[in-house]
Structure 1
Amino acid sequence: MISQLSWKIGGQQGEGVESTDRIFSTALNRLGYYLYGYRHFSSRIKGGHTNNKIRISTKPIRAISDDLDILVAFDQETIDLNAHELTKHGVIVADAKFSPVVPEGVAARLFAVPITGIAEELGTSLMKNMVASGASWALLGLPMEVFNKAVEEEFGRKGAAVVEKNVLAVARGAEFVLTEAGGPLDQFQLEPADGLQKLFMIGNDAIGLGAVAAGCRFMPAYPITPASEIMEYLIKALPKFGGTVIQTEDEIAAVTMAIGANYGGVRTMTASAGPGLSLMMEAIGLAGMTETPVVIVDTQRGGPSTGLPTKQEQSDVNAMIYGTHGEIPKIVISPSTIEECFYDTIEAFNLAEIYQCPVIIMTDLQLSLGKQSAEILDYNKIVINRGKIVTSPEEQEPNKLFKRYEFTEDGQSPRVFPGTKHGIHHVTGVEHDQEGRPSESTINRKKMMDKRLGKLDNLQVTNAIKADAPHEEPDYLIIGMGSTGGTIDEARVRLEADGIKTNHVTVRLLHPFPAEQLKAYTSKAKKLIVVENNATGQLAALIKLHVGSSEKIHSHLKYDGNPFLPSEIYKECKELIQWQR
């Protein structure tokens, strides 16, 4: 028996690939397996090749697999594009309708199943995805009743007759392939899972859930890939707690509305991707100048311009840190797991209100949309801190206003909500005095700039970096951010087996940069390898700027739209060792 395998289904977008993947993975999750998914999809609504890959394991996993065991193909293009990933024991389950051909040099076993034919016999070709999934599930030898339960949950809202037909489609697909194969294939028999309950979700859903738990009750946003699922999640969730979501006309309206709602006292967030973030920049400066908290999620994708809207990239780092005009306090945090997406979102709301500034949550497409297993969340960890909110200000002297921007020792001024008695003050985007009145005094300008920028001098965040450092003097310190963490860890297992000592740091606070924390690890390593999905080495540049060690830094970059594979990081490190020798 084996401890893990990988399964992929592909076809034209709109053929039911997504629903097949959803049912297949749901059934596996019910059995207690750990899962890690990757969606390759076109930027078109319908048409264009798409595939979903699931890695299945009896142990925790956080990376895409290098290879593939089972490929389910609705067309020849799927075979041509993906068959090279198959192992020597790999299998292709393909629709006999298109007369599938295994490419030369691929040693995979082909099962040409009349997928469309069986579906049409049952009444509609739309059920071909259920025929295909039943065929591939049967090869694993896993309980069919678990899969049927997932089918029932998927189609239950459409009535018993629809459920019955889809269950029959699954059975017919399973029956055909088992007859052809002579039963479940030995090479695909998985060891039993632990059976423990696990979450199975995308990062965007975890961010949405974190926002609800943090007390967010309003989200203005404009749909954009790969951020839209946050909005979709909150559309369903917020009304249950007295909140709401508004689809705005653009991202400028979304962020200004979020700033206004936060000023009014309602915890509010918005979410977008690189193009939307660009439109928000002037308003982010407004939030910094008026010291109004706001939480913004940037789910990075391939750029520039429309770029690769459905592909992986980590190229917005500089935009998030330096994009606004002028100089304001700003916090940029970067979760790297599903669990961190949840907890970091809660912390982002706290940080925004404590330091009264914009907080940007930086994710990437793979973390945002890659569905994966996660540990059960601990709601006892949730702490809400709203900072220096004053509910009962002292009565002001005649003709005096509340000092909303008062100079204080820690730089955090008292904050009141509109309508609070004795709390009236001015709010303006121009430079202002302690009461908010416009001021061009040079003395006041310098004091206000120092006050705003000094607020983050004593910034405290949870785990600014996440380190796994078993070696005192490693050959390599591999540094990454976002979704690269699990891939790096898997590559390290292979490197350690080859006698190469490695430590790993995931940078989780991008701005202000945690230079001293990182320096404790960079100073001990012989070589620093910075892994990032962009062409210009933006994380490496931050390390050089704040930490130094330029002579030790080697950038491993990937910007073709795909996430890193463990083998790619492993090979890069091996080649670097050989080159140094």
Structure 2
Amino acid sequence: MSKDLGWKVGGAQGEGIESTGDIFALSLFRLGYYVSTYRHFMSLIKGGHTNGKVRVTTENKGHHGDDLHILLAFDQETINFNFHELVDGGFLIYDTAIKNVEVPENDKVNIVPVPLTDIAKEAGSTIMKNMVSIGATAAIIGLTPDDFRSVLTDRFGSKGGDVVESNIAAMQKGYDFYKNNFTNTIELPARPVLKPERLFISGNEATSIGAIAGGARFLSQYPITPATEVMYQMVKQFPKLGGAVVQAEDEIAAVMMSIGANYTGARSLTATSGPGFSLMMEALGLAGISETPLVIVDVMRAGPSTGLPTKTEQSDVFTMMYGSHGEIPRIVLTPRNVEEVFYFTKEAFNLAEKYQCPVIVATDLFMGMNKWTVESIDFDKLHNERQNFATQEYLDSLEKGEFKRFDVTAENGISLRTIPGMKNGRFVAMGNEHDEVGVEMEETELRVKQMDKRAKKLVGFDDIVGATYEGAENAELLLVDFGSTSGIQREVYEELVAEGVSVGHLSIARLLPFPTADVAPYINAAKKVLVTELNSTGQLAQQLKQFVGGHDKYESFLKYSGDPLLVREVLAKAKDVAASLKKEVTL
């Protein structure tokens, strides 16, 4: 029995590749399996190679896996690009309609030519060749077409029962063709206990429902891959809740609208990716100096400039931490799985309101646009508290013009705010430096007081987890990561533990305020620190050197091709570093 199953379908964009993968993934999820997906696609509406991978496991892994057991090829490019990934004993199912098909010589892979297009035509339409291919897959892995019925009913039921049955029939024909012509099979991993409270959602969907749970009722956004899906989800949900979505003319307008909405007391956000986030830099400073709450979700992609808009990267670290001119307090959260995307996004609104500063939630394309199994949401953790608002009773006790919105006497630097319309609560939220009531000024002493006031806000911040650690006490080799790379790195850690390596895994969930106290003891105790990240300059490693030190300990594994990490490539680097430690001991 296999430990997990890697399945992939590939073809030309616009050929139904995404829907094929969705149907397979959701069906396996409904059978109780943990499912992780990854979509490889080009920035084209139609044409160009695309594929979708599905990993089926008995426990939550958090990434799409290295191994490929079954490849469905609708064209020659799919074979050319993906055949090498197949493990020994794997299966290549290809459509015999591919002209002049070329299959690499390999006696360790099962070659399965199936007339997908012809069978689909017999079933009623060539468009159903994806159903035929899933039927052949079902025969290989010990399922039946009926195991996919609920998903097909949900997907096509609105078009009528005949459409559902015709798709089932096409799947059955693919199933029967394989059974009648081939005998080899793969046994699926043992089926886990089915828990209906589990979810199957993408990071972008988790962002949307997290924002709603956090009390957000206004989204202003300019469409940009890979963050556009956040807006699509909000468009569906906000009307039910009295919320509103505005598609802005650009990212500058989007962030300014969000600041304005927060100024009025509404909880608001904007979502974007690297190029759009760059355009928001001046507005980020405005939110900081005017002490207006602001939540920005940055779904990172490969840059610079337009870069690779449909590929993943983690290269916005410096921009998120230090972008915008001048110095302002800000919070930067880096959720490490889709479940944390939900909780961190929800909590971002509490933090933005409590500390009256920008909060940036950093995901990436790998996490944002792919779907994952998520354990049930713990609703006991959902708590929203409106904080640091002046009461009308307090304002009534003041003389006209006496309200000090930017009062410097607060020990923690956080002063009370009001919303427009509150009697005696008027103030100016400007981009210029100002005095305590919000009037523009340039006096040096007052400037220093306002800067010091804002700087106090995040001193001693510990409202949300900074990092988590597992592993040996005083581990010699320390693996460090942040964000979506945590799932891959955890499997590397488990492999090394199994081989007897003295290793620990430190996963960072917050870049600002930087969790120095959480990470320093482990870095100081380790002999070598391997930092894994998706960028070319080691941006996280540079922050560790700045905030913790120990410059001679660091090694980096960097990937910036646009493709996500694989366990085997990180593991190879980690083994090299571990081997170097043994050499040092021998010498």
TM range (shorter): over 0.9
Q: Which amino acid aligns with 2:27?
A: A
Per-residue deviation at 1:79? 0.8
For 1:190, the equivalent position in structure 2 comes to 189
Once residues 106 and 115 of structure 2 are traced to their aligned partners in structure 1, the CA distance between those partners, rounded to angstroms, is 25
Q: 1:200 to 1:166 in 2, by over 3 A?
A: same
Q: Deviations over 1:76-129 (max 9, x none)?
A: 110111111111100011111015432134731111111111222233221111
For 2:346, the equivalent position in structure 1 comes to 346
Instruction: Determine if contact 1:84/1:106 at 8 Å carries over to the other structure.
Output: no
SS in 1 for 2:256: helix
Q: Which amino acid aligns with 1:253?
A: A
Q: Which amino acid aligns with 2:447?
A: R
Instruction: Determine if contact 2:303/2:315 at 8 Å carries over to the other structure.
Output: yes
What is the aligned-residue RMSD (CA, Å)? 1.4
Written as runs of structure 1 = structure 2, the 5 A alignment for 1:226-241 is 226-241=226-241
Instruction: Determine if contact 2:205/2:229 at 8 Å carries over to the other structure.
Output: yes
Written as runs of structure 1 = structure 2, the 5 A alignment for 1:171-570 is 171-182=172-183, 185-197=184-196, 198-392=198-392, 393-395=394-396, 400-407=401-408, 408-468=410-470, 470-570=471-571
Q: 1:186 to 1:123 in 2, by over 3 A?
A: closer
The unaligned stretches of length 5 or more in structure 2 are: none
Per-residue deviation at 1:391? 2.8
Per-residue deviation at 1:149? 1.9
Instruction: Determine if contact 2:221/2:248 at 8 Å carries over to the other structure.
Output: yes
For 2:157, the equivalent position in structure 1 comes to 156
Q: Deviations over 1:383-424 (max 9, x none)?
A: 112220113133366552421111111100101110011111
Instruction: Determine if contact 2:41/2:310 at 8 Å carries over to the other structure.
Output: yes
Instruction: Determine if contact 2:532/2:557 at 8 Å carries over to the other structure.
Output: yes
For 1:63, the equivalent position in structure 2 comes to 63
The unaligned stretches of length 5 or more in structure 1 are: none
Tell me the percent identity: 46
Compare 491-500 and 210-219 and name the one that shifted more. Answer: 491-500
Per-residue deviation at 1:153? 1.1
Instruction: Determine if contact 2:312/2:364 at 8 Å carries over to the other structure.
Output: yes
SS in 1 for 2:395: coil
Q: Deviations over 1:23-81 (max 9, x none)?
A: 11111011100111111111111111111111101122122221210001101110111
Instruction: Determine if contact 2:474/2:522 at 8 Å carries over to the other structure.
Output: no
Q: Which amino acid aligns with 1:513?
A: F
Q: Which amino acid aligns with 2:563?
A: N
Q: Deviations over 1:158-204 (max 9, x none)?
A: 2222222111111111111121113xx44334322322222111111
SS in 1 for 2:501: coil
SS in 1 for 2:44: coil
Once residues 106 and 474 of structure 1 are traced to their aligned partners in structure 2, the CA distance between those partners, rounded to angstroms, is 43
Structure 1 residue 17 and structure 2 residue 17: aligned?
yes
Q: Deviations over 1:117-167 (max 9, x none)?
A: 122223322111111112112211124322122111111122222222111
Compare 372-381 and 92-101 and name the one that shifted more. Answer: 92-101
Compare 255-264 and 515-524 and name the one that shifted more. Answer: 515-524
Instruction: Determine if contact 1:111/1:180 at 8 Å carries over to the other structure.
Output: no
SS in 2 for 1:187: coil
Query: Normalising by the residue count of structure 2, what TM-score does the alignment of the two structures yield?
Result: 0.96
Instruction: Determine if contact 1:473/1:524 at 8 Å carries over to the other structure.
Output: yes
Once residues 491 and 19 of structure 1 are traced to their aligned partners in structure 2, the CA distance between those partners, rounded to angstroms, is 31
Once residues 67 and 318 of structure 1 are traced to their aligned partners in structure 2, the CA distance between those partners, rounded to angstroms, is 33
SS in 1 for 2:127: helix
Q: Deviations over 1:203-259 (max 9, x none)?
A: 111111111111100101011111111111111111111111111111111000000
- Aligned pair count reads 578
Once residues 19 and 531 of structure 1 are traced to their aligned partners in structure 2, the CA distance between those partners, rounded to angstroms, is 32
Instruction: Determine if contact 2:144/2:175 at 8 Å carries over to the other structure.
Output: no
Once residues 270 and 422 of structure 2 are traced to their aligned partners in structure 1, the CA distance between those partners, rounded to angstroms, is 26
Once residues 118 and 142 of structure 1 are traced to their aligned partners in structure 2, the CA distance between those partners, rounded to angstroms, is 20
Per-residue deviation at 1:271? 0.2
Per-residue deviation at 1:277? 0.1
Per-residue deviation at 1:458? 2.6
Q: 1:399 to 1:374 in 2, by over 3 A?
A: closer
Once residues 194 and 397 of structure 1 are traced to their aligned partners in structure 2, the CA distance between those partners, rounded to angstroms, is 62
